[in-house]
Amino acid sequence: MSIRNRHVVIVGAGIGGLTAARALALRGARVSVLEQASEIAEVGAGIQISPNGLAVLRALGLEGAVRATGAPEAQAVVLRDRRGRRLARFPLAGLERPGDYLFLHRADLIEVLAQGARAAGAELHLGHQVDRVAPGLRPVVHAARGGATEVDIVVGADGLHSVVAESIGRRDTPFFTGQVAWRAVVAGDEGPPEVELHMGPGRHIVTYPLRDHRLRNIVAVEERRDWTQESWSRRDSAAAVQGAFSRMGPRPRALLDRIETVHVWGLFRRRVATDWHGGNTVLMGDAVHPTLPFLAQGACMAIEDAWVLAEALDATDDTRAAFETYQRARHARVVRTVDAATGNAWKYHLRGPLATGAQLGIRLLGATAPRS
């Protein structure tokens, strides 16, 4: 039977859930996506999609639509110190397909994925919050709207605070990572299509162009002891982020001065789960391996999950064996990725002699990088 004609409910219409919806529907599954929000929307911010993520979107037939959004192709990663001095420039031209590293507006990516899911036959149900799932060989989805529905397979793509993960026995709670992130998009762009990383003591700023260089994305991260807000994100004042970075170089300060609207996030994480499935229910994306954004891989990992899960389910009639194949294929890779992102947190934020030593190392490394 494989996945053909089986009824799959995906909880969550984020980047992971929507990619899985298209991947599974293209392989013949009957897919329903339940999303708690009343509209498909994403925070107004950018997202870097590296070649691994784009390879999946290409295989799903979405590369043209993604590129048509005007996403600039990244050329290099440039590292700068607190004063704005260039430490190194790492060109992406050495990649196998250099044009495959894209800067996207999140709203554009979500729109492409939602249209792609619908075009493949998936049904998207908005305003449907799932309360819990009763796992088992015929899992039952309990939702405030729609009551209890028995289905063949449930995919939990419901992010960091996943109720599906809880339903299959996950008990740990998300922990604050000691980092907060302001996110803003400003009008106008100057400079080449590069990831600019400005590093300072206990803080850093990442910035890159969006939408045919009409916009510029800014992520500004600062270390904090705690996060006392009830929600994990809220609107903030431009003055708050400008004040936090007032000792950085002129380039980031000039960018921050252009901010009109900004939100701030407490960055939370969980350890990567050891059990990714229970009965015919399985997890993916941030629901199973939330990561710090300092490697720009959280969404790319969710996109990869979607492909591997669909492929595993299509290859056998044995759902449990398919889930095990999927977890085996993904676990070590996402652990490596999550650890590398966590490691970047302290590397970006070094102070004093440690920073001086590390920056010398970066200069030397940069001097040996291929030129383009």
The residue with tokens 């002891």 is 225
From the list 65-73, 275-283, 286-294, 307-315, the region that binds ligand FAD by CB under 6 A is 286-294
Q: What is the helix (H) or strand (E) element at residue 151, kind and residue range?
A: none
Is 20 a binding residue for ligand FAD by CB under 6 A? The answer is no
Binding mask 174-193 for ligand FAD (x = CB under 6 A): -------x-x----------
Is 345 a binding residue for ligand FAD by CB under 6 A? The answer is no
From the list 195-203, 281-289, 310-318, 326-334, the region that binds ligand FAD by CB under 6 A is 281-289
Nearer to ligand FAD, 167 or 359 (CB): 167
Is 219 a binding residue for ligand FAD by CB under 6 A? The answer is yes
The active-site residue out of 101, 208, 326, 348 is: 208
Q: Given the DSSP bridges, would you call strands 194-200 and 76-80 parallel, antiparallel or unpaired?
A: parallel
Alpha helices in the chain (DSSP H): 15-26, 51-59, 63-67, 106-119, 163-167, 238-244, 250-257, 298-314, 319-348, 352-368
Nearer to ligand FAD, 299 or 312 (CB): 299
Is 157 a binding residue for ligand FAD by CB under 6 A? The answer is yes
Is 273 a binding residue for ligand FAD by CB under 6 A? The answer is no
Give Cβ neighbours of residue 325 (< 8 Å, ≥ 6 apart).
Answer: 312, 315, 316
d(CA 124, CA 44): 22
Which residues share a beta bridge with 150? 140
Binding mask 119-148 for ligand FAD (x = CB under 6 A): ----------xx------------------
Is 159 a binding residue for ligand FAD by CB under 6 A? The answer is yes
Judged by CB under 6 A, the residue of 3, 8, 17, 167 near ligand FAD is 17
What is the residue-wise DSSP string for 250-317?
HHHHHHHHT-SSEEEEEEEE-PPPS--EETTEEE-GGGT----STTS-HHHHHHHHHHHHHHHHHT-S
Q: In the numeric block, which tokens belong to residue 159?
A: 């992010």
Is 296 a binding residue for ligand FAD by CB under 6 A? The answer is yes
**Do 20 and 310 contact (CB within 8 A), yes or no?**
yes
Q: In the numeric block, which tokens belong to residue 121?
A: 């036959």
Q: How far is the CB of 21 from ligand FAD (least distance, A)?
A: 11
Q: In the numeric block, which tokens belong to residue 272?
A: 């990567």
Is 149 a binding residue for ligand FAD by CB under 6 A? The answer is no
Judged by CB under 6 A, the residue of 3, 6, 8, 48 near ligand FAD is 48
Is 15 a binding residue for ligand FAD by CB under 6 A? The answer is yes
Is 35 a binding residue for ligand FAD by CB under 6 A? The answer is yes
From the list 31-39, 75-83, 194-202, 325-333, the region that binds ligand FAD by CB under 6 A is 31-39
Look at residue 212 and give its three-state secondary structure. Answer: coil
- The site for ligand FAD, by CB under 6 A, has a size of 33
Judged by CB under 6 A, the residue of 90, 101, 245, 265 near ligand FAD is 265
Q: How far is the CB of 231 from ligand FAD (least distance, A)?
A: 13
Label residue 211 exposed, middle or buried (CB < 10 Å: 0-12, 13-18, 19+).
buried
From the list 23-31, 119-127, 168-176, 291-299, the region that binds ligand FAD by CB under 6 A is 291-299
Look at residue 175 and give its three-state secondary structure. Answer: strand
What is the residue-wise DSSP string for 118-136?
HHTT-EEEET--EEEEE-S
Judged by CB under 6 A, the residue of 2, 28, 36, 166 near ligand FAD is 36
What is the residue-wise DSSP string for 96-117?
SSGGG-EEEEHHHHHHHHHHHH
**Strand order from edge to edge, sheet including 30-35:** 123-126, 30-35, 7-11, 153-156, 281-283, 277-278
- Catalytic, 208? Answer yes
What amino acid positions are annotated as catalytic residues?
208
Residues in the site for ligand FAD, rule: CB under 6 A?
A: 11-17, 34-37, 47-48, 129-130, 157-159, 163, 181, 183, 219, 265, 285-287, 293, 296-300, 302
